[in-house]
């Protein structure tokens, strides 16, 4: 993996700790992040020149009626939002807290 992409993988995953259970970096057979979502599922993500993608999703079954998320995402945030409703909730809560802090300063 390109050095810049490797740094981006680590930086972006570190910034998402508020909305995931944990993550580790796996270096073989290719460098990726192994992310445990708040729902308890584990996904493997990697970044390339095309964007962010899930390379493995356990369990892989998607409940009937739910659309499959797109394969590539512009940002890690977008990828996590599409795979984890609990991440999306935590992210919204975090934004509300930041806005409230700004409003309190005024």
Give me the pLDDT at residue 65, please: 53
Cβ atoms 23, 36 nearer than 8 A: yes
Residues of the chain with pLDDT under 50: 60-61, 64, 70
Rounded to an integer, what distance in angstroms lies between the CA atom of residue 101 and that of residue 106? 9
Give me the pLDDT at residue 56, please: 76
Quote the pTM value: 0.80
């Amino acid at each position: 993996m390109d050095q810049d992409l490797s740094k981006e993988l680590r930086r972006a995953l570190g910034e998402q700790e508020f909305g995931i259970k944990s993550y580790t970096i796996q270096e073989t057979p290719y460098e990726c992040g192994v992310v445990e979502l708040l729902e308890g599922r584990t996904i493997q993500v990697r970044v390339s020149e095309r964007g962010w993608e899930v390379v493995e999703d356990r369990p892989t079954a998607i409940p009937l009626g739910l659309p499959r998320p797109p394969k590539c995402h512009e940002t890690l945030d977008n990828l996590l939002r599409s795979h984890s409703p609990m991440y999306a909730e935590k992210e919204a809560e975090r934004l509300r807290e930041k806005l409230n802090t700004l409003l309190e300063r005024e």
